[in-house]
């Protein structure tokens, strides 16, 4: 039969095979998403970002186990992992047995973001869609919290978790102001370490200061993200609002992980009851289309403009013989692939 049926039935080998194909070629990714997209949209996509070494992988391991205990199937995508997932330890005995019978409850895939312009690997979202279509209920995407990756994950996920930990260059100053705009849930991991309370306090203070004077609602996360571009349809306000929780965890012992798992579930419920889920889907769709377009433009440009000419333009800009706008315009005109002028939706 067609691979589609195998993937939709959650056949682990078929899923693994398809993901390998999706990762290896943009054409394969396109084909896979085109055929599977109609079967996606059920999974809760959760992004986990934070500084290197803050415990993202350890926490994702523990979260996966917590969701498994609740009978949920979990897909994990780690972008640019420097620390390996624990593999065997990840799968509890029962899960491992089911894994053997071909019904794995946890699927883990690591990928490098190398070659991608933004922070997310090009194929990350396609891989997440394969897992969604394969029936994984929760998809955890780990990315290191740095620049574009952070922004990308926030537009790609329904729920964005930002991790902090004590002893990471430490102190309030090291916590970037921008995280409040992307975080739906803040986590202070390594709660067993000295200084954890101070990090919690700093975050709570930042949250408090960020709260607008009276309309304290309709403020955070997906709501705010989309609101910036598209005012809500009137009559569908975020009545209850979402108060960003600060959760303390110790990934090495599992302490606080159940609370985090339930905060994640609450955020989903909040999105569903507030209309935020649909908003989040639009935000995600917009972000993804933009990323795909950007990638294609760059690909097109690279394919059409010989390396030497591109390098010559770069040199000219570096040496102030040409300004960057003019260089970009030349490349754009060279590569612009537009021919057709009609759009179908």
Ligand X SMILES: Nc1nc2c(ncn2[C@@H]2O[C@H](COP(=O)(O)OP(=O)(O)OP(=O)(O)O)[C@@H](O)[C@H]2O)c(=O)[nH]1
Residue 48 interacts, among Mg ion, ligand X, none and using kind-specific CB cut-offs from 5 to 8 Å, with none
Residue 58 interacts, among ligand X, Mg ion, none and using kind-specific CB cut-offs from 5 to 8 Å, with ligand X
Q: Based on CB atoms, which residue is closest to ligand X, 24 or 252? A: 252
At closest approach, how far in Å is the CB of 260 from ligand X?
12
Q: Does 56 bind ligand X (CB under 6 A)?
A: yes
Instruction: Kindly identify the residues of this chain, within the stretch 108-137, that bind ligand X according to CB under 6 A.
Output: none
Judge contact between 60 and 101, C-beta under 8 A.
no
Q: Based on CB atoms, which residue is closest to ligand X, 83 or 224? A: 83
Binding mask 29-68 for Mg ion (x = CB under 5 A): ---------------------------xx-----------
Judge contact between 331 and 297, C-beta under 8 A.
no
Tokens of 240: 């209850």
Instruction: Kindly identify the residues of this chain, within the stretch 189-218, that bind ligand X according to CB under 6 A.
Output: 189-190, 192-193
Q: Does 110 bind Mg ion (CB under 5 A)?
A: no
Binding mask 72-101 for Mg ion (x = CB under 5 A): ---------x-x------------------
Residue 189 interacts, among Mg ion, ligand X, none and using kind-specific CB cut-offs from 5 to 8 Å, with ligand X
Residue 40 interacts, among ligand X, Mg ion, none and using kind-specific CB cut-offs from 5 to 8 Å, with none
Instruction: Kindly identify the residues of this chain, within the stretch 230-269, that bind ligand X according to CB under 6 A.
Output: 250-252
At closest approach, how far in Å is the CB of 338 from ligand X?
40
Q: Based on CB atoms, which residue is closest to Mg ion, 150 or 226? A: 150
At closest approach, how far in Å is the CB of 262 from ligand X?
18
Q: Based on CB atoms, which residue is closest to Mg ion, 47 or 81? A: 81
Q: Exposed, middle or buried by CB within 10 Å (0-12, 13-18, 19+), for 88?
A: exposed
When binding is defined by CB under 6 A, the residue of 13, 25, 30, 52 that contacts ligand X is 52
At closest approach, how far in Å is the CB of 84 from Mg ion?
8
Give the integer Cα–Cα distance in Å for 50 and 146: 8
Q: What phi, psi does 74 have (nearest 5°)? A: -125, 125
Residue 295: other Cβ atoms inside 10 A: 15
At closest approach, how far in Å is the CB of 326 from ligand X?
39
When binding is defined by CB under 6 A, the residue of 54, 202, 248, 283 that contacts ligand X is 54
Q: Which residues pair with 188 in a beta bridge?
A: 164, 248
Give the integer Cα–Cα distance in Å for 282 and 131: 20
Interacting residues with ligand X (CB under 6 A)? 50, 52-58, 81-83, 144, 189-190, 192-193, 250-252
């Amino acid at each position: 039969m067609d691979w589609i049926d195998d993937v939709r039935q959650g056949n682990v080998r078929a899923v693994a095979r398809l993901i390998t194909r999706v990762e290896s070629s943009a054409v394969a990714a396109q084909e896979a998403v085109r055929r599977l997209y109609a079967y996606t949209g059920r999974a809760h996509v959760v992004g986990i970002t934070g500084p290197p070494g803050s415990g993202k992988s350890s926490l994702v391991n523990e979260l996966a186990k917590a969701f498994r205990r609740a009978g949920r199937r979990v897909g994990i995508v780690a972008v640019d992992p420097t620390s390996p997932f624990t593999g065997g330890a990840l799968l509890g005995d029962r899960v491992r047995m089911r894994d053997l019978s071909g019904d794995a409850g946890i699927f883990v895939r690591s990928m490098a973001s190398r070659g991608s312009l933004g922070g997310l690997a090009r194929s990350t979202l396609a891989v997440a869609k394969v897992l969604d279509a394969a029936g994984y209920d929760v998809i955890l995407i780990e990315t290191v919290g740095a620049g574009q990756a952070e922004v990308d994950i926030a537009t790609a996920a329904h729920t964005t978790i930002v991790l902090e930990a004590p002893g990471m260059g430490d102190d309030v100053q090291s916590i970037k102001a921008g995280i409040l705009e992307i975080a739906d849930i803040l986590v202070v991991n390594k709660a067993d370490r000295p200084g954890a309370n101070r990090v919690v306090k700093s975050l709570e203070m930042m949250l408090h200061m960020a709260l607008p004077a009276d309309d304290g609602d309709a403020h955070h996360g997906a709501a705010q993200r989309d609101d910036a571009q598209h005012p809500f349809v009137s009559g569908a306000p975020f009545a209850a609002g979402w108060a960003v929780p600060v959760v303390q965890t110790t990934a090495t012992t599992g302490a606080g992980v159940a609370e985090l798992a339930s905060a994640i579930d609450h955020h989903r419920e909040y999105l569903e009851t507030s209309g935020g889920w649909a908003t989040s889907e639009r935000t995600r769709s917009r972000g993804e289309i933009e990323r795909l377009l950007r990638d294609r433009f760059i690909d097109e440009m690279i394919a059409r403009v010989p390396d030497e000419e591109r390098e010559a333009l770069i040199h000219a800009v570096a040496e102030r013989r040409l300004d960057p706008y003019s260089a970009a315009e030349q490349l754009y005109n060279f590569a612009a692939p537009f021919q057709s002028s009609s759009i179908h939706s």
